[in-house]
Amino acid sequence: SLAASPPMVLAGGFFVLILLGAALLLLPWSRVGPLSVGDALFTATSAVTVTGLGVVDTATHFTYLGQGILLLLIQLGGLGFMTFGVLVLLLLAGRVSFSHQFLVKESLNQTQLSDVMRLVRHLARFVLIAEGLGIVLLALCWVPQMGWHKGLWHALFYTISAFNNAGFALSSDSLSQYVDSGPVNLIITALFMTGGIGFAVVSELAQKRSYNRLSLHSRVMLLGTLMLALGGMALFLLIEWHNPATLGHLSTGGKLWAAWFQSVTARTAGFNTIDMSAMTPAAVMLFLLLMLIGAGPGSTASGIKVTTFAVLLAATRAFLLRRPQTKLLNRAVPAVSVFKALAVTLLSLMLIFLAVFVLAISDHDKPFLDLCFEVVSAFGTVGLTRGITPELSATGKAVIMVMMFLGRVGPLTLGFLLATPRVHRVRYAEEPVAIG
């Protein structure tokens, strides 16, 4: 049926794109030296799902053409997902409820499905403006330092990689050399946060220009992003302040920049300016949480999303205070949204558990915490790594590839499934069981 097809179309499109991308990367003009089919598939999957996990070094294993192909895959994957996310929102709007429809109309200023083309044009303009600005600003930093040729290429590559939250970098230590550079920290984080918050929020913000008139969705995204960024930064500073391998050797200013960057990159971007494998277990746990949360629905981000996390916290509060309604920023979250938040989160956790379990067998020589890190990084399409992904067994790499794919396609598909229950003829008699 037509109702079932959109997520299948998305998954199928991504799958074809990955195969095509891998074939292009295997061309002799794309690569420097040999590249196995498995590594090409892994790299293409990582690019299309805008994850950034790698089994080979981007800068040394690919020619300019190869890097250009990666950029194309990243841009198509990121843009495809954003467009699709917006279309699903529109599609859901037509079939879910008046209030949901109202949300979409309000935030996108669209009245019906025939406006799709106008919407896609809006989206394209948004991407062009953001990426154009990014290229110009980064070029201002890097051209004086690297010269026109290399400076512009770096500006282009990092802008596309950052705006699409892909996390691909042109050096093996990501952006570590800019750990205390204010301009680079600001431009890169601004790019990936804009790409990650969701087009609906940006669009509504551009129209209303006032926080108080925004929809609940946009207000939760903005406030939630701010609180997660500052909370993550504060916790990271507390945990890693004296760790000589991460923050310890930096000046106070450098510590603040590094904590800011690491706090916001963890929720899907995937660049890093400090060594992930040198972090303490507590910091790794903080990262697991942030990577699981991710950024905004209908954006280049994966994970359960900031809104889902906010609803979970609000619902917990409502349970403990025994309130009949889940309250969030002076609005009540509908019971169906609370249910969806719980379901999405638990299904994600089940999938992560299963993947780590398989890795604990196939790659039992690797530290357990590192296996958790790579799996959650893949599922949230974050791309941060404790350095073990290139050393994983073939089974292990396959698991990571599947998790990147499911992390990217899964939640949308799931949202779609949850929103459109199939009519079922057989009705069963209800009978309760005791819970907890």
Nearest distance, CB of residue 30 and its own copies, angstroms: 35
Nearest distance, CB of residue 217 and its own copies, angstroms: 5
Binding to its own copies (CB under 8 A) within 180-199 occurs at: 198
Nearest distance, CB of residue 409 and K ion, angstroms: 15
Cα-based angle 71, 294, 285 (whole degrees, multiple of 5): 115
Q: Which residues of this chain interact with K ion, rule CB under 5 A?
A: 52, 165, 167, 270, 383
Choice between 153 and 241, CB closer to its own copies: 241
**How many CA atoms does the CB half-sphere of 398 hold within 13 Å?**
6
According to the binding rule CB under 8 A, does residue 72 interact with its own copies? no
Binding to its own copies (CB under 8 A) within 272-311 occurs at: 280-282, 284-286, 289, 297-298, 304-305, 307-308, 310-311
Q: Are the C-beta atoms of 77 and 49 separated by less than 8 Å? A: yes
Distances (CA, A) of 424 to 4, 5, 417, 428: 15, 18, 14, 10
According to the binding rule CB under 8 A, does residue 5 interact with its own copies? no
Choice between 98 and 145, CB closer to its own copies: 98
> Taking CB positions, which residue lies at the least distance from K ion?
270
User: Which stretch in 45-53, 71-79, 260-268, 312-320 sits in contact with its own copies by CB under 8 A?
Assistant: 312-320
The residue written with tokens 């590192």 in the block is 370
As given in the structure block, the two tokens for residue 24 are: 């292009």
Q: Which pairing describes strands 331-333 and 326-328: parallel, antiparallel, or unpaired?
A: antiparallel
Binding to its own copies (CB under 8 A) within 235-274 occurs at: 239
User: Which stretch in 68-76, 114-122, 270-278, 348-356 sits in contact with its own copies by CB under 8 A?
Assistant: 348-356
Choice between 19 and 327, CB closer to its own copies: 327
| String of DSSP letters for 209-268 | --GGGS-HHHHHHHHHHHHHHHHHHHHHHHHHTT-TTTTTTS-HHHHHHHHHHHHHHTTT
Choice between 54 and 297, CB closer to its own copies: 297
Mask: binding to its own copies, 369-398, rule CB under 8 A, as x and -?
x-----------------------------
Nearest distance, CB of residue 350 and its own copies, angstroms: 7
Applying CB under 8 A, among 87, 205, 256, 343 the residue interacting with its own copies is 343
Q: What is the 3-state secondary structure (H, E, C) of 345-385?
A: HHHHHHHHHHHHHHHHHHCCCCCHHHHHHHHHHHHCCCCCC
As given in the structure block, the two tokens for residue 45 are: 């999957």
According to the binding rule CB under 8 A, does residue 364 interact with its own copies? yes
Which of its own copies, K ion, none binds 383 (CB below 5-8 Å, type-dependent)?
Answer: K ion
| String of DSSP letters for 122-148 | HHHHHHHHHHHHHHHHHHHHHHHHH-H
Which of K ion, its own copies, none binds 327 (CB below 5-8 Å, type-dependent)?
Answer: its own copies
Nearest distance, CB of residue 152 and its own copies, angstroms: 37
Binding to its own copies (CB under 8 A) within 75-134 occurs at: 89, 97, 99-100, 103
Three-class secondary structure of residue 425 per DSSP: coil
Which of K ion, its own copies, none binds 169 (CB below 5-8 Å, type-dependent)?
Answer: none
Nearest distance, CB of residue 138 and K ion, angstroms: 18
Binding to its own copies (CB under 8 A) within 323-342 occurs at: 323-325, 327-328, 330-342
Phi and psi torsions of 404, nearest 5°: -60, -45
Q: Are the C-beta atoms of 167 and 187 separated by less than 8 Å? A: no
Nearest distance, CB of residue 73 and its own copies, angstroms: 24
Which of its own copies, K ion, none binds 212 (CB below 5-8 Å, type-dependent)?
Answer: none
- Listed in sequence order, the residues at least 6 apart from 237 whose beta carbon sits closer than 8 Å to its beta carbon are 247, 255, 256, 259
CA 416 to chain CA centroid, nearest Å: 19
